[in-house]
Amino acid sequence: MDRFELAAESRELLSEAEAVGGDLANLAAKSPGRVNRELIAALAEAGLLDHLLPVDGQVSALDLCLLRQGVARQSAHAETALAMQGLGAYPIVLSGSDDLAQRWIPAVRHGQAIPAFALTEFAAGSDAGHLQLRAEPDGADGYRLTGEKAFISNAPDADFYTAFARSEPAEGRQGISCFLVEGDAPGLSGEALELVAPHPVGTLVFEDVAVPRSQMIGEPGRGFEVAMRTLDLFRPSVGAFAIGMAETARNLALNHARKREAFGRPILDFQAVSHQLADMSVEIEAAKMLVYRAASAHDRGDKAQLTSLAAAAKLYATEVAQRAVDGAVQILGARALVHDHPLAELYRQVRAPRIYEGTSEIQRNVIARELSAGRWPS
């Protein structure tokens, strides 16, 4: 694939994802604040979870981006359900044992199991190395987890959690391990949170939750690496999700500007509107290229450039999407503020991607660090 042009099969995947997103938009709108198992089963039946979790285990960052971008063009709720099937399961795909993969990944692929990625805590968001969830040794072959997690997508309804806890005495990023914790484990509880944009997310409380050593993902004390491997794969696709929303916002604004007349002519004839749409389109196209380039760097194993490109892709695409949606609302005016208008929904949805999986400020820190170390891609 040319680094700035999608191959035919990639364009087909993007179109397929968009079509499925459109078909499932109404189903996705049901119960948006909790896990929608009917929607996830439908995503599996449509074949998107097969692309998300290939049978051969060779996950493609570019395919993930195309899936998220395409579905997001039609339904942010369906996109979120799709993405969370990947985020919660990828630690097992990338770092888990064969036994864990064989037990859980087919069920996730078939829409029969709901995973969740449990990293964030109230006091450990951007500073993920400051985790307080404790994993104390329990005999010769197990651990007991005590503490809390917050803002966990699919909590408290997930069937299992890939949970990160401090299992070793080392400080900071050292000493963190990753565990698969089943959703019905004794001592595990949680509550749903209500966000500005309805989304299945909640808190978790671990009260002396027993986890056998066989359910550790990766090596003891190397859980932070498991988390970063997963996020390196996933981060460009957050930008792709944002691009899908930005494209929809731009198209809604463009169609409105062609039809809406003021002072005897379409408002698209006014430079204030046409230039805003022009800038929007240029930024969206630039964001696409950056996201695809970052995903391609991951897929070809270019670790030297991946960190910089993934941070840049997520930062730029999510900021572009925020501007695009805000600009589209401005072009449509008050009608876009009606609660059930598609732009009102996008306006609620577009804010969160600038925060989760590394805030815009954290991405700038990463980029500045890479620049300082001379690792910025040429």
Let me know if 168 is a catalytic residue.
Answer: no
Which DSSP string corresponds to 110-122? Answer: TT---EEEE--BT
For the chain, give the longest Cα–Cα distance.
Answer: 81
CB 127 within 8 A of CB 172: no
CB 62 within 8 A of CB 10: yes
| Nearest-angstrom CA–CA distance, 127 and 215 | 25
Cis peptide before 156 (omega within 30 of 0): yes
Contacts of 131 (CB under 8 A, 6+ apart): 119, 121, 124, 164, 165, 166, 176
Distances, alpha carbon 182 to alpha carbons 36, 185, 311, in Å: 19, 5, 32
CB 349 within 8 A of CB 367: no
3-state secondary structure of 53: coil
Contacts of 377 (CB under 8 A, 6+ apart): 297, 304, 305, 308, 309
What's the distance, CA 218 to chain centroid? Answer: 22
Lookup: tokens for 80: 């979120």
Of the candidates 283, 319, 357, 370, the residue annotated as catalytic is 357
Best CA proximity match to 236, nearest among 324, 314, 308, 130: 314
| Nearest-angstrom CA–CA distance, 294 and 370 | 15
Contacts of 231 (CB under 8 A, 6+ apart): 357, 358
Q: What is the DSSP letter of 192?
A: E
Distances, alpha carbon 269 to alpha carbons 100, 146, 249, in Å: 59, 62, 19
**Which amino acid belongs to residue 185?**
A
Residues annotated catalytic, as ranges = 357
